[in-house]
């Protein structure tokens, strides 16, 4: 039994074109949230939809972990989380129903849920996190688990339903400016070997994801916009290098991309170049 089961609803298998391309990346945004909640003292587990066959695997994970809280936390660093959006939204709705059927409190976070919180609440989510979710999620869980008695109405960045069913959106929470203050992603929750095997078999090398900034300065109205608007916050070069060199990052990629990073937004100014890295990769159309 675990406190929180994290999941996300981007299934590569439901995206025929990208299933064909087969360049899977673990859900980095979800791993950041899991690491933060773990630091706050919660026991966390992960369901990784990226390589899952269908929502039935989520249901199996719910039975295995028996969480009190089911958290669908989309990977907002990957623009693919908005590809085939209607199919992935449908998957999220199915996952919400499955979690509720097993008695979980259901919390949803991500670009689509931020834009369409009421739709997710109507389909059974108990709470939606608007914008960046880590701090809001921690404050909400502290309240729900009895650590605090903060009223829901006082939790910035939260959407929920009043007792009469009326949806409520609290004011948004400011972006996280001190990105260095967040723990590194909880890579230990991912089956890295499975990703490695797929990459080597299909492409002859292994590629992993990493972010140096949160947000996006470009004008397109896509993945990052509901969360950060047309802004971004950067990690320090020292913090990026510490993660690259750290023991918690899975070892062995032969390439590493820095998604949502360009010559304009890379705080390291391109100076971080270990022998196995590439400065950018086409995770976002702006980098192609
Ligand atoms: S330009 Fe920005 S908002 Fe648009 S897909 Fe790329 S990262 Fe996302």
Cβ-based neighbour number of residue 133 at 10 Å: 31
The mean pLDDT value for 78-102 works out to 88
Q: Give the three-class secondary structure for 255.
A: strand
CATH, residue 76 = 3.40.50.280
- 66 lies in the same domain as 116: yes
* Mean pLDDT of all residues belonging to the chain: 87
Query: What angle, rounded to 10 degrees, do the helices at 134-144 and 28-39 form?
Result: 40
Could you tell me if 70 and 99 are in contact, meaning their C-beta atoms sit under 8 angstroms apart? Answer: yes
Tokens found for residue 244: 């690259």
Residue 287 lies in a domain: no
The mean pLDDT value for 76-105 works out to 89
The mean pLDDT value for 208-229 works out to 89
245 CA to centre of ligand 1 in angstroms: 28
pLDDT value at 267 more than 90 = no
* Residue 11: predicted pLDDT: 95
Could you tell me if 19 and 13 are in contact, meaning their C-beta atoms sit under 8 angstroms apart? Answer: yes
Residue 248 lies in a domain: yes
Ligand 1 pocket test, candidate residues 219, 220, 226, 259, most atoms within 8 A of CB: 220
- 78 lies in the same domain as 192: no
Overall domain count for the chain: 2
pLDDT by residue (tens digit) across 41-73? Answer: 999 999 999 999 999 999 999 999 999 999 999
User: How far, in Å, are 78, 169, 202, 225, 259 from residue 215 at the CA level?
Assistant: 11, 22, 31, 8, 11
Could you tell me if 92 and 49 are in contact, meaning their C-beta atoms sit under 8 angstroms apart? Answer: no
Domain range spanning residue 264?
A: 179-282
* Residue 80: predicted pLDDT: 72
Residue 288 lies in a domain: no
pLDDT exceeding 90 applies to what percent of the chain?
76
* Residue 239: predicted pLDDT: 96
Q: What atom in ligand 1 is closest to the CA of residue 223?
A: 8
Q: What residues flank ligand 1, with Cβ below 6 Å?
A: 79, 216, 218, 220, 222-225, 260, 284-286
- 162 lies in the same domain as 189: no
- 131 lies in the same domain as 241: no
pTM assigned to the model: 0.89
pLDDT value at 274 more than 80 = no
> CA nearest 87: which of 17, 26, 161?
17
280 CA to centre of ligand 1 in angstroms: 14
Quickly state the pLDDT bin for 264 (edges 50, 70, 90).
Answer: very low
Output the residue whose Cα is nearest ligand 1's atom 6.
284
Q: Which of the residue ranges 26-35, 208-217, 238-247, 255-264 would you say has the lowest mean pLDDT?
A: 255-264
Q: Give the three-class secondary structure for 72.
A: strand
Looking at the chain, how many residues does it have? 288
- 219 lies in the same domain as 258: yes
Quickly state the pLDDT bin for 220 (edges 50, 70, 90).
Answer: confident
């Amino acid at each position: 039994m675990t406190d929180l089961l994290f999941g996300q609803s981007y299934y590569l298998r439901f995206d025929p074109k990208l299933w064909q391309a087969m360049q899977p990346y673990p859900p980095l945004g979800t791993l950041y949230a899991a690491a933060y909640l773990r630091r706050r003292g919660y026991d966390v587990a992960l369901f990784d939809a990226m390589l899952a066959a269908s929502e039935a695997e989520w249901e199996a994970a719910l039975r295995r972990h028996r969480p009190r809280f089911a958290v669908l936390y989309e990977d907002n660093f990957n623009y693919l989380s908005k590809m085939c959006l209607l199919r992935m939204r449908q998957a999220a709705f199915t996952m919400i129903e499955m979690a509720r059927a097993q008695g979980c409190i259901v919390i949803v976070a991500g670009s689509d849920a931020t834009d369409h919180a009421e739709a997710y609440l109507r389909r059974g989510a108990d709470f939606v996190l608007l914008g960046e979710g880590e701090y809001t999620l921690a404050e909400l869980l502290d309240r729900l688990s009895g650590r605090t008695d903060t009223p829901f109405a006082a939790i910035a960045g939260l959407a929920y339903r009043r007792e009469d069913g009326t949806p409520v959106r609290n004011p948004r929470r400011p972006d996280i400016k001190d990105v260095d203050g967040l723990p590194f992603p909880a890579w230990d929750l991912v089956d890295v070997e499975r990703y490695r095997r797929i990459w080597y078999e299909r492409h002859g090398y292994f590629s992993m994801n990493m972010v140096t900034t949160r947000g996006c300065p470009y004008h397109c109205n896509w993945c990052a916009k509901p969360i950060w608007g047309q802004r971004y916050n950067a990690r320090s070069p020292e913090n990026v290098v510490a993660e690259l060199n750290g023991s918690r990052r899975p070892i062995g990629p032969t390439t590493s991309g820095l998604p949502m990073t360009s010559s304009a937004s890379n705080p390291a100014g391109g100076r971080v170049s270990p022998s196995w890295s590439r400065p950018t990769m086409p995770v976002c159309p702006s980098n192609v």
